[in-house]
Amino acid sequence: MARSHTVDLSGLLAGSRQRILIDDEVALEPFEDISFVGPVSVHLEVQATDGLLHLVGEAAGTVGAACVGCLEEVERPMVVAIDERINPHVGREDDPFGEGNVLLGGRLDIADLAQQVLLGALPMRMRCSEECRGLCGLCGTNKNSGACSCETGDKRGELKMENPSQQDA
Ligand SMILES: [Zn+2]
Ligand SMILES: [Zn+2]
């Protein structure tokens, strides 16, 4: 795991007033059904204000997931603004699910931050388009790519093929 994209913020945590600029590209592991297509770029300014770390910038990347209608892979480019205040005194040990978990030992984990930001902005249900017609409930054909025989009204042909004995009786 080459997840060495961390930035030392111990100076800020010790009270430095300086502004730290971060420009990084990170490759993110897939998260559940969500994949990241290509690296995610992160531009960030970090400052300590009032005992909190103030992160301002953006994360940009392309997210891939299956369309909830037709299950085709959808790729969606995303640019998400970051404007977060992190309490550096709440660490991973105290609150493993809190926003502070992007900090570990005075270092900011860029990949963790980028992942949280992009996943947080992602719609719950991705669709390939507003007009996605989904899959046919009978034969599973992707209806975006054309009508299947279930839809064309060609019922006689289907009956003959599927139930020849019933028709004879
Ligand atoms: Zn779709
Ligand atoms: Zn069908």
For 37-62, what is each residue's pLDDT tens digit? Answer: 999 999 999 999 888 899 999 999 99
The answer to the question of residue 146 being in a domain is yes
What is the chain's Cα-based Rg? 25
Residue 165 has pLDDT above 80, yes or no: no
Find the 156 Cα to ligand 1 centroid distance in Å: 30
Could you say which ligand is closest to the alpha carbon of residue 146? 2
* 112 and 139 together in one domain: no
CA of 121 to the centre of ligand 2 (A): 35
- Number of domains composing the chain: 2
Residue-wise pLDDT for 14-42, tens only, equals: 889 999 999 999 999 999 889 999 999 99
CA of 136 to the centre of ligand 2 (A): 5
Query: Relative to the alpha carbon of 70, which ligand is closest?
Result: 1
Summarize pLDDT for 121-153 with one digit per residue, the tens: 988 788 999 999 999 999 999 999 988 888 655
Closest-CA residue to 60 (of 44, 77, 38):
77
Question: Residue 164: its pLDDT value, please?
Answer: 47
Residues 45 and 91 in one domain: yes
Between the CA of 112 and the centroid of ligand 2 the distance, in Å, is 43
CA of residue 150 to ligand 2 center, whole Å: 4
CB atoms within 10 A of CB 102: 23
Task: Quote the ligand 1 centre to 130 CA distance (angstroms).
Answer: 8
For residue 140, the enclosing domain spans 135-169
Cβ 46 vs Cβ 9: under 8 Å: yes
127 domain-assigned: no
- CB atoms < 10 A from the CB of 75, how many? 13
Q: Is residue 140 domain-shared with residue 90, that is, in the same domain?
A: no
State the distance from the centre of ligand 2 to the C-alpha of 80, rounded, in angstroms: 39
Residues 96 and 71 in one domain: yes
Q: Which ligand is nearest to the CA of 141?
A: 2
DSSP classification of residue 99: G
CA distance 119 to 14: 31
Pairing outcome for strands 35-49 and 52-66: antiparallel
For residues 65 and 127, give the distance between their C-alpha atoms in angstroms, rounded to a whole number: 9
Task: Give pTM, 2 decimals.
Answer: 0.75
Ligand nearest to the CA of 140: 2
